[in-house]
Structure 1
Amino acid sequence: MRAGVNALHGASTGNGDEAACRWAAVRHADDHINVIATLVREDGRRPRLHNEARRAQAEARRIEADYGLHRVTPGDGIASKRPTSAERHKAERQGRARAPREELRETVRGAGDGAASTDEFLDRLKNAGLLVRTRVLPSGDLQGYKVALPDDRNKDNEPTFHSGSRLAPDLSLPRIQERFTTAPTPPEIAGSEQPERPARPSVPAAARRATAHAARHALLVLNHGADDGVAAAQISATGEVLDALAKTSALHTRSELRQAAWEFERASRSHTRAEFRHAQDLRRAARDLVHGGPAPGRGEDGAGTAMVLDMLVFLATAAANWHAQRQHAQQAEAARRTAAHLRAAYQHAAGEPLTVLRERGRRIAPSLLRRHATTLRAVLPELAETILAEPGWNALVATLTDAETAGQDARALLVEATARRELDSAESAGEVLIWRLRRTADLPGYAPAPGALRDQRPGHQRATTRQVPAASAPAMPRLFGDASAFNG
């Protein structure tokens, strides 16, 4: 079909039905055509229109296969409603980058991140500058809510309100309220003992460290084959964490994190009903991020962001696998795109902290450097030489030194960090170990530990060390690894 305006007329079916509805296909752009059809057959009867959108999409998938075209992932009927053409044109006239429906959806979703009650959720909506209306039953119970942008008006100059369910299926009031529960996650859900949760943070860096712990626990849940409702809750709560992290991130990571949160919005929703009582660690982490406020992206804040992004890449990849195993094509693809944005954000966030650690590692005494190399060869004989040749080796040396200064057993920590965890195909095995060690030993992500730059011989270490059993931690895949690592 040539560019320009071309029309083809004929029967709407291929089964020889001469009385079928007439149609015309019009191409007026390079990337799509419009199909126009009458809704009355030539014999006067009306066509069968039940589920016509779904049947049309199924036919489009067959055409893609027949002609070798790009294969679009099939939908499942629960995606957020797209703005209508009228809404898009109105946004263009008003000079908006997005339609009001999309702005509202993002704001409402953010208001629910980590919220602990309906009142808190509604207060966040109002504090974000939205106009809020609520519906109350005769019993006094809240039935629903609507929101509007103050400057989005209809022809009568009245605010254009949208209910939560019109913005997205999971933003209706009942679905929002399902998240408000404080029941703890039973240990058997994760298949192992739950990791200790740090004290409630009050600053951005501490909030990020707590989020890394919560993300690790969520990964254990997905990796141990939890019930679908439990896994769906962890994935949905991961979306809350990404929203909160994007809102409080530094400028150099904000763009990638906002894209990651935008992509994961699709991955966080499926037909599987989430059991949110099993995802409160992640929801509290999202709340901590919001209340911790913006992170400047330097020093300990930047290191904390790198640490949590390290775990979130794992979590997004695990979510992609979980959806793929259940034939949730759109959600799986969205989670993979999320992981790609998180990798890019990690590269931005980790640059300065790793540079500082490398500089510190270069100043460590040669005797201590040799001892750490000997320990690494004993624990990881197959990968030791590769790690020793990496640019991150000096940063790993600084981390091992910090661990010993803090009274930890560096060898035991290395054994724990590598036990049953795939490292061979990591982009940088040493870099993976740095964040695992600093998270496990609860070391500062950036600032030097007291005395960390001294020439520390074995006799200068603290007498008290913490022995970490090698089998205490479940298997973890590599930092930016193959998704198949989660399937076992």
Structure 2
Amino acid sequence: MISKPIRGSKTHGALKYLFGPGKANEHTDPHIVASWGGFAPDPGRDPGDPDATLVQLRDVLDLHVVRYGKPVTQHVYHRPVRADPTDRILSDEEWGTIARRIVAASGIAPEDDPNGCRWIAVRHADDHIHILATVVRADLTQARLRGDQYRVETELTKIEREYKLKDLSDTRTREYRDAIPKRAKGKELHKAQRLGREGTDRDRLRTAVRQALAGAADEEEFTARLTAKGVLLAVRRAPSGDVTGYKFALPTGDENGPIWFSGSKLASDLTQPKIQARFALGVDQPASPTPHPRTWPADGRHRASTTIERAYPAFDDDQDAARAEALIRGGLEVLDTLAATSPTLSRKELHQAARAMEYTRTAHTRAAGADLRAMRSAARELLHAGPATGRGEDGTAAATILTSLVLLAVVIAKWHAAQGHRHQADAARTAADHLRAAYTRHAAKPIAHLTLEGRLLPKPDHDRQADAVRQTLPADQATRLLAEDNWAALAATLAQAEATGHNPTTLLTNAAGRRELATADSPAAVLTWRIRRDANLPTPAPAATPDELRTRAARARTTSRTTGTPATTVITPPAPVAPDQVRRTR
């Protein structure tokens, strides 16, 4: 089924159309199949004076609008609902039930709400109905309709399944197509192929504009960052001098000059009004840097990861499309900034994740300001912290923020899937895959160090950390976590935190309470990075040379054989790699 709302200001005019012959006499037997109380006057069933009944129907529909006492902008809510031509013909009773479900989902007349708006559903053809309502409720407040389209689309998907109608969820992705980046034309693709470039000028330009915009506080900063990236900017002005649009271009050596793209030709959210709306939200100033400049990138990534994790619960609410859209847009800004400030080790994967995340956006939703500001501020935090090296503390901070972003992509995918947005859900899963690849590159070495240390923990220390996990997590989660390969790394982290005065149970409770452990590939790894960040633990590093570790492992095995005490499982470090082999692997 397809449905989209139309707003208007003339109740009588809308009724005349619904009960009239149509533009080409296509309306047959117009009549009401459902209404707000079940007793609305029906001009289509009045054998006497249908015109008088039409006026009467207008008056009862407008009753609360008149009582409201002041003008209501576009008080008419008109929503056609059309079945697919291949669907069976539904009865009046079935259409009536569908209409009641749609007005409940939209917010016009929520279920069991005696103060809902007045509405009718008119059928004048086999394959569709028209829902007409006025938006003032019986308690003289206006209906809360923000995000109504997403709720209605979700309900339509359920209706299609229950009534065994054709699934039109893909057709309902018009808004998705409006939101996604504008695709390059054939000539652009051929040019990029001829010049051996990975992307077209349009794609490269869109990426550059997004990275310049990510976390920018105002137009001046945005313009300066465009210039630093070599992007040309032209401002279109009205005769009054007001700015009415932006155009962007990359410098070329062509004698015909650069090829300009308006913001709308790059993406729907890169128009001048949309960019200015972001600046109007403002951003929070980054935290004061530590006295040690070398730790700034790591500090910024740790703080940004905390902001990302606070966003997860917003996706639990299937109805709040505005918050979800704000956090998706903000997450894209964080990704763009992270890609621009990350080392070569993971930059390509992060860039690909950001491009996939562009396809998770939705259109025509007014994003929640506070949520978008928080995520834009996290992007600014990364920008202020500066480029990271990917080594040492930077590497562990990168692993931490990447686990946070992977889980953000996962919850975005789950949210879109629940809304019936198949394409956006697939794009979010693609972004998560790229983020996992980037995470692996940063996490492999520190996780290996921690695993060695964890497997060589004395048995009492090992058992104490395992008991803390069993006390903190549900039994099934604790069992899964203790069976993981990464459990040893978490045990080492908990032991280190305990040695610095932290309570492992408290740290586990706080880290596990940030949601989405169940969907993590490795809950132990997620908890490891969260706890290291929360406890401000140093970068994982070998506690001993490989020979020393082998000696400690042998002693542990000998102790086990002579005393009968089970030794903690140990891992034998790999043999040293020759320098020429290191160079080849690089």
TM-score, scaled relative to structure 2? 0.57
Query: How far apart in 1 are the matches of 2:371 and 2:513?
Result: 27
Rg (Cα) greater in structure: 2
> 2:283–2:376: 8 Å Cα contact kept in structure 1?
no
What SS is found at the alignment partner of 1:146? strand
Query: How far apart in 2 are the matches of 1:390 and 1:277?
Result: 38
Once the two structures are aligned, what percentage of the paired residues are identical? 43
1:122 is matched with which residue: 223, 227, 233?
223
Structure 1 segment 50-449 matched on structure 2, within 5 A: 75-76=174-175, 77-78=177-178, 79-151=180-252, 153=254, 157-182=256-281, 203-224=296-317, 227-380=320-473, 382=476, 384=478, 387-418=481-512, 427-444=521-538, 446=540
Q: 1:230 to 1:328 in 2, by over 3 A?
A: same
The Cα offsets for residues 61-105 of structure 1, whole Å up to 9 and x where unpaired, read as xxxxxxxxxx99955331322222222333344443322111111
What SS is found at the alignment partner of 1:134? strand
Q: 1:435 to 1:171 in 2, by over 3 A?
A: same
> 2:217–2:282: 8 Å Cα contact kept in structure 1?
no
Deviation at 1:157, TM superposition (A): 2.0
> 1:183–1:278: 8 Å Cα contact kept in structure 2?
no
Q: 1:242 to 1:291 in 2, by over 3 A?
A: same
Q: 1:73 to 1:311 in 2, by over 3 A?
A: farther
What SS is found at the alignment partner of 1:394? helix
Residue identity in the other structure for 1:163: S
Structure 2 unaligned segments of length 5 or more: list them. Answer: 1-84, 87-169, 544-586
- Alignment RMSD (CA, Å): 3.5
Moved more, 273-282 or 107-116: 273-282
Query: How far apart in 2 are the matches of 1:151 and 1:313?
Result: 37
> 1:73–1:329: 8 Å Cα contact kept in structure 2?
no
The Cα offsets for residues 42-78 of structure 1, whole Å up to 9 and x where unpaired, read as xxxxxxxxxxxxxxxx99xxxxxxxxxxx99955331
The Cα offsets for residues 5-41 of structure 1, whole Å up to 9 and x where unpaired, read as xxxxxxxxxxxxxxxxxxxxxxxxxxxxxxxxxxxxx
The Cα offsets for residues 114-135 of structure 1, whole Å up to 9 and x where unpaired, read as 1111111111111111122112
> 1:91–1:98: 8 Å Cα contact kept in structure 2?
yes
Deviation at 1:139, TM superposition (A): 4.4
> 1:130–1:149: 8 Å Cα contact kept in structure 2?
yes
Deviation at 1:152, TM superposition (A): 5.9
Q: 1:167 to 1:184 in 2, by over 3 A?
A: closer
Residue identity in the other structure for 1:176: I
> 2:318–2:415: 8 Å Cα contact kept in structure 1?
no
Query: How far apart in 1 are the matches of 2:516 and 2:215?
Result: 33
- Give the corresponding residue for 1:477: none
Structure 1 unaligned segments of length 5 or more: list them. Answer: 1-57, 60-70, 186-196, 450-488
TM-score, scaled relative to structure 1? 0.68
Q: 1:218 to 1:424 in 2, by over 3 A?
A: closer
Structure with higher helix content:
2
What SS is found at the alignment partner of 1:147? strand
> 2:312–2:515: 8 Å Cα contact kept in structure 1?
no
Residue identity in the other structure for 2:181: S
Residue identity in the other structure for 2:189: R
- Give the corresponding residue for 1:193: none
Query: How far apart in 1 are the matches of 2:326 and 2:508?
Result: 32
Moved more, 331-340 or 437-446: 437-446
> 1:178–1:276: 8 Å Cα contact kept in structure 2?
no
Query: How far apart in 1 are the matches of 2:410 and 2:480?
Result: 25
Query: How far apart in 2 are the matches of 1:446 and 1:134?
Result: 50
